[in-house]
Amino acid sequence: MQGRSRESVGFAEHCSIDLDAWLDQYNNRREYRGRWCYGKTPMRTFLDSLELAKEELIPH
């Protein structure tokens, strides 16, 4: 790779793997007791709200 050392590429890949794992934990595995989640994960709350959101769409 031009302009990058092997170490910086390895570090970037390591950070990407760590970030992906964190996002999965944050969105899919931890339960959230916030205002609209009611003990569900953020992703479950989002998926459960899709139909309601589609019903509320205003046609263009």
CA distance 37 to 56: 19
Mean pLDDT over 19-48 rounds to 92
pLDDT confidence of 4, banded at 50, 70, 90?
low
| Single-letter amino acid, residue 11 | F
**Which two tokens mark 14?**
């390591």
Separation between Cα atoms, residue 21 and residue 26, nearest integer Å: 9
Predicted local confidence at residue 3, as pLDDT: 62
| Mean pLDDT in residue range 11-39 | 92
Q: Is the pLDDT of residue 17 over 90?
A: yes
pLDDT of residue 30 exceeding 90 = yes
Phi-psi region of 17 (alpha: psi -120 to 50; beta: other; left: phi over 0): alpha
Name the pLDDT band for 39 (thresholds 50, 70, 90). Answer: very high
